[in-house]
Amino acid sequence: MTQTQQKIGFQHVGSFLRPDALKQARAAFANGQITADDLTAVEDTAITTLVAQQVAAGLDVVTDGEFRRSYWHLDNFWGFEGVERFKFGEGYQFAHEETRDDSAHLTGPLGFNATAHPLIREFKFLKTIADRYGVAAKATLPSPAQFFAELVRGRNAERVHRFYTNDADFHAAIQRVYHDEILALYDAGARTIQLDDCTWGMLVDPHFGVLMTGNGVSVTELKTLYLTLNNGALADLPDDLVINTHVCRGNYHSDWAASGGYDLVADELLGQENVASYFLEYDSDRAGGFAPLAKVSGDKQVVLGLITTKTGELEDKQVIIDRIYEATQYLPLERLWLSTQCGFASTEEGNVLTEDQQWAKLALVRDILTQVWGYKA
């Protein structure tokens, strides 16, 4: 299915800074001081408040801030049958710090159960609150390619070979469980689903390419595989379901993991992935220039992530507007839009800025949408 142009509206990538009450409740639950039901009640209250804040800020599409998650990606992986949470022994090495060391590996063949996977009931709660305000609710998921990358990371790959005798069956299983999850979200009322994907953001970095080549896998092979996994999961979906993707180079406690422009992945990612819109990181020189946007196929749209969530310093509005018009050299203005480069808290640690600065960033986005595109809620 090739996505057709849709009105994007004012929306945020996904995650928000966790409020103190939620942080305290998560810590208390981890220490055995409160029950799971107690924690859920705190989460429900925090999400209800967050939706009201998003509506007050003018957002047309709201999220639950990923408040029930520890990580933007792993929590979803742990919800599949045949997947176990465990301590890898080392985290991902970002530019200036190492992440926590949680990971996911196989304990059996992959499966999806809509009544057991937490993301489905979490979205149902969000949808109920969003409906009260008459706004759309967006579900954010790590991409199928991201799931693959975690399951074959280091010694995790040994588990794959225990349960799948060939790569084709393993790849097909990833596509199947994701397709089933997306349909379950659709049945729960989701009409906008976003696939968050750092796999492309790693491929743009030459150092990552050297590492993969050393492991006997070429960047060309990975590009083909990532595209196959993502598009396979997105095949034969309802026509009124909008699928977007968000690509960045890592976002952990205001740190980053990779550098490089989109040139190396533009043909596959921008030309062939079957999504309606690309939310692309563009808040620093690490993201390269706008020339790859010429590869965006059909009438697909690009949401320029020019406002950073990594610092609280507010961007100069005119500088951002100038950059938007620079991008129109490669894609017309009517196919461009604006957002932050990523969420404010891709993991529960959150980035290094205040909640007031978080909302000021989104107010700036709305101001520029109005000035450049004549946006009206």
Give 319-348 pLDDT, tens digit per residue: 999 999 999 999 999 999 999 999 999 999
Place of tokens 């492991």: 215
- At 256 the pLDDT is 74
Average pLDDT rounded to a whole number, residues 19-32? 97
Contacts of 319 (CB under 8 A, 6+ apart): none
Average pLDDT rounded to a whole number, residues 251-255? 85
- At 4 the pLDDT is 40
- The better pLDDT of the pair 345, 216 is held by 345
C-alpha torsion sign, points 226, 155, 75, 107: positive
- Position 278 pLDDT exceeds 70: yes
* pTM score: 0.95
Average pLDDT rounded to a whole number, residues 191-203? 96
- At 39 the pLDDT is 98
- Position 312 pLDDT exceeds 90: yes
Q: How far is CA 363 from the centre of its chain?
A: 21
Q: What are 148's two structure tokens?
A: 């693959």
- At 215 the pLDDT is 67
Do residues 230 and 197 make contact, with C-beta atoms less than 8 angstroms apart?
A: yes
- At 212 the pLDDT is 66
Sorting pLDDT into bands at 50, 70 and 90, what band is 94? Answer: confident
Average pLDDT rounded to a whole number, residues 277-293? 97
Q: What are 215's two structure tokens?
A: 């492991």
Average pLDDT rounded to a whole number, residues 6-32? 95
- The better pLDDT of the pair 186, 350 is held by 186
CATH architecture label of 20-373: Alpha-Beta Barrel (3.20)
Q: Each residue of 352-372: pLDDT tens digit?
A: 999 999 999 999 999 999 999
**DSSP states along 171-236:** HHHHHHHHHHHHHHHHHTT--EEEEEE-HHHHHTSHHHHHHHHHTT--HHHHHHHHHHHHHHHTTT
Share of the chain above pLDDT 70, in %: 97
The strand pairing partners of 281, in sequence order, are 305
- At 1 the pLDDT is 35
Sorting pLDDT into bands at 50, 70 and 90, what band is 209? Answer: confident
- At 7 the pLDDT is 81
- At 6 the pLDDT is 54
The CA distance from 230 to 50, in Å, is: 30
Q: What are the residue ranges spanned by the domains of the chain?
A: 20-373
Average pLDDT rounded to a whole number, residues 61-79? 96
- At 188 the pLDDT is 98
By the 10 Å C-beta count (0-12 exposed, 13-18 middle, 19+ buried), 48 is classed as middle
- Position 216 pLDDT exceeds 80: no
Q: Each residue of 30-54: pLDDT tens digit?
A: 999 999 999 999 999 999 999 999 9
Q: Each residue of 292-306: pLDDT tens digit?
A: 999 999 999 999 999
Sorting pLDDT into bands at 50, 70 and 90, what band is 3? Answer: very low
- Give SS3 for 145: helix
- At 2 the pLDDT is 38
Closest listed residue to residue 339, CA positions, set 60, 41, 26, 56: 60
